[in-house]
């Protein structure tokens, strides 16, 4: 039976990269809203996108772009449902940051080293090296040092409660986290743009982390 993966977005067709990878790996992606019932799904994927409203982490807006409060509301509500149900969650880029804010953390609204991490005026992702924490899922999947893509200008600042840093870039940006007790994993990079038809020679295979998430989902 296919794992049913909820993706809280207004229009799933605009997030085809995520849906395509899930389908290719044997899962069923489904667009959901704020009222999603986690009981009907095996896991939650929080995709990339614009910035989270800084009021969510107690700050004034000093560097955010493409803020969508309605999307924030939808995704925070969906995450809350899956956290309460104890079901697996995978956060990607914006999803990584949203998970941190949900657990009470804060964000850096514009990284000092954004030029290394953000596309800027280019249509191509940046690529940089990272280091994974020994014993973490990312370390077990990819070893200690590996390259990932990058397309973000914000980053995790103060960690949310229960979250553990599992990966950093060479310049210190938090690139991966996991929850100490819940089946939650998140990455600042875009695995859906590093695998299958989008596989690249200068990064690891992003499908490995998605497979890991789906294996967790399949365990129930």
Of 3, 64, 93, 186, the catalytic one is 93
Answer for the pair 75, 49: CB distance below 8 angstroms, yes or no.
no
- Residue 65 has a CB neighbour count (10 Å cut-off) of 11
Active site residue 179: no
Burial (CB < 10 A; 0-12, 13-18, 19+), residue 95, is buried
Buried b (16+ CB within 10 A) or exposed e, 125-156: bbebebbbbeebbbbeebeeebbbbbbbbbbb
Q: How many domains does the chain have?
A: 1
Strands 3-8 and 43-46, by their bridges, are parallel
Residue whose C-alpha is closest to residue 51's, from 4, 114, 108: 108
Active site residue 93: yes
Q: What is the CATH number of the domain that holds 196?
A: 3.40.50.880
Q: What is the pLDDT along the chain (220 residues), one digit of tens a residue?
A: 899 999 999 999 999 999 999 999 999 999 999 999 999 999 999 999 999 999 999 999 999 999 999 999 999 999 999 999 999 999 999 999 999 999 999 999 999 999 999 988 788 999 999 999 999 999 999 999 999 999 999 999 999 999 999 999 999 999 999 999 999 999 999 999 999 999 999 999 999 999 999 999 999 7
Give the pLDDT confidence score for residue 220 in this predicted structure: 78
Q: Can you give the pTM of this predicted structure?
A: 0.98
The Cα–Cα gap between 123 and 51 comes to: 18
Residue whose C-alpha is closest to residue 149's, from 173, 172, 130: 130
Give the pLDDT confidence score for residue 1 in this predicted structure: 80
Of 96, 117, 190, 198, the catalytic one is 190
Active site residue 153: no
In terms of residue numbers, what domain contains 130? 3-219
Buried b (16+ CB within 10 A) or exposed e, 5-18: bbbbbeebeebebb
Give the pLDDT confidence score for residue 197 in this predicted structure: 94
């Amino acid at each position: 039976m296919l794992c049913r993966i909820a993706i809280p977005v207004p229009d799933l067709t605009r997030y085809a990269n995520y849906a395509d990878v899930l389908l290719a790996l044997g899962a069923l992606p489904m667009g959901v809203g704020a009222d999603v019932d986690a009981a009907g799904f095996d896991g939650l994927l929080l995709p990339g996108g614009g910035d989270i409203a800084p009021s969510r982490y107690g700050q004034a807006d000093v560097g955010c772009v493409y803020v969508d409060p309605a999307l924030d509301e939808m995704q925070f509500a969906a995450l809350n449902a899956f956290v309460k149900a104890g079901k697996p969650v995978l956060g990607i880029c914006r999803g990584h940051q949203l998970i941190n804010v949900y657990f009470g953390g804060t964000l850096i609204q514009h990284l000092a080293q954004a030029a290394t991490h953000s596309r800027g005026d280019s249509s191509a992702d940046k690529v940089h090296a990272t280091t994974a924490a020994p014993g973490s899922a990312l370390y077990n999947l990819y070893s200690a040092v590996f390259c990932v893509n990058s397309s973000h200008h914000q980053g995790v600042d103060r960690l949310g409660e229960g979250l553990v840093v599992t990966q950093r870039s060479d310049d210190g940006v938090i690139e991966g986290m996991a929850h100490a007790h819940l089946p939650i994993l998140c990455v600042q990079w875009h695995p859906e743009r590093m695998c299958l038809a989008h596989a690249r020679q200068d990064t690891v295979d992003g499908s490995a982390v998605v497979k890991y998430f789906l294996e967790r989902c399949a365990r129930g």
